[in-house]
Amino acid sequence: MTDAGGIIAIGGDLQPERLLLAYRSGIFPWPHEKLPLLWFCPDPRMVLPINELHISRSLAKTLKQQRFQVTIDQAFNTVIRHCALIPRKEGYGTWITRDMIHAYNQLHSMGFAHSVEVWQNNTIVGGLYGISLGAAFFGESMFSLATNASKVAFATLVKLLARHKFHFVDCQVHTYHLESLGAQEWPRERFLDALNQALTVPTLRGKWSISDSPEPNELRATI
């Protein structure tokens, strides 16, 4: 049973085994200041089906210009710490506590958590991180210090996931940024059914390689 905001459980810890069980159940942690640890399974759920990524003409132009360099799993801790510092326009504040940073670094070391890094002149200017289980990728957070940097990270990730026949990216809750990239709201029941199907696929565990990511000219504008 959940409340109107999607809270399904209160308390517990961020041990890797608990986190992995939660994600497999469609649940994710979302710490709130001065409250016990809260666990969510929102309804509706923001989801991007892999084949419905929307690349705008401006983003396609940015990708073609190759103004950024993109790496994968090369600076996970840097990415998550940048995500923790970025204010959220939607007003949620940061939920990436010191304990969260430690826990997701553990999952990265275990081969379940991954990051995409976007660089400009050898300086990181954008990125994202999330969890991979089966054919599902659970996006946790992204940041951008340069125009379109987080969108470049997201588009590169989705195309990489498409190459490995992932089913969807779980984007958790609605933002206009994600909506502009093609994410859509699904009823909770539909999401959980899709998740159960995705979890029948073996997990692509371990460190991911930039050699698996697409060339810029593969990322074309879509209408």
Q: Is residue 1 part of a domain?
A: no
**Tokens (6 digits) for 201:** 């696929």
Q: Which is it for strands 168-172 and 136-144: parallel, antiparallel or unpaired?
A: parallel
> Residue 82 is part of which domain span?
44-218
CATH number of the domain to which 197 belongs: 3.40.630.70
Q: Is 181 helix (H, G, I), strand (E, B) or coil?
A: coil
- Locate tokens 């923001």: which residue? 46
Whole-angstrom Cα distance, residue 104 to residue 98? Answer: 10
Total of domains in the chain:
1
How would you write 44-81 as a 3-class SS string? CEEEEEHHHCCCCHHHHHHHHHCCCEEEECCCHHHHHH
Q: Is residue 63 part of a domain?
A: yes
Would you call the peptide bond into 44 cis, given omega within 30 degrees of 0 as the criterion? Answer: yes
Whole-angstrom Cα distance, residue 4 to residue 165? Answer: 34
Q: Is residue 112 part of a domain?
A: yes
Q: Is residue 190 part of a domain?
A: yes
Q: Is residue 14 part of a domain?
A: no
Q: Is residue 16 part of a domain?
A: no
What is the pLDDT, as a whole number, of residue 221? Answer: 40
- Is the pTM of the predicted complex or chain greater than 0.95? no
**Tokens (6 digits) for 159:** 């195309």
Burial class (CB within 10 angstroms; exposed 0-12, middle 13-18, buried 19+) of 214: middle
Q: Is residue 85 part of a domain?
A: yes
Q: Which amino acid is at 73?
A: D
What is the pLDDT, as a whole number, of residue 215? Answer: 53
pLDDT averaged over 10-residue windows placed end to end, the chain, 223 residues: 75 97 97 91 97 94 92 98 77 76 98 98 97 98 95 96 97 93 97 98 93 51 38
Helices 149-163 and 57-65: angle between axes, nearest 10 degrees:
90
Which residues face 143 on adjacent strands?
127
What is the pLDDT, as a whole number, of residue 218? Answer: 47
Under 8 Å between Cβ of 136 and 199: yes
Q: Is residue 20 part of a domain?
A: no
Q: What is the pLDDT of residues 131-185, one digit of tens each?
A: 999 999 999 999 999 999 999 999 999 999 999 999 999 999 999 989 999 999 9
Q: φ, ψ for residue 190 (rounded to 5)?
A: -65, -45
What is the pLDDT, as a whole number, of residue 94? Answer: 61
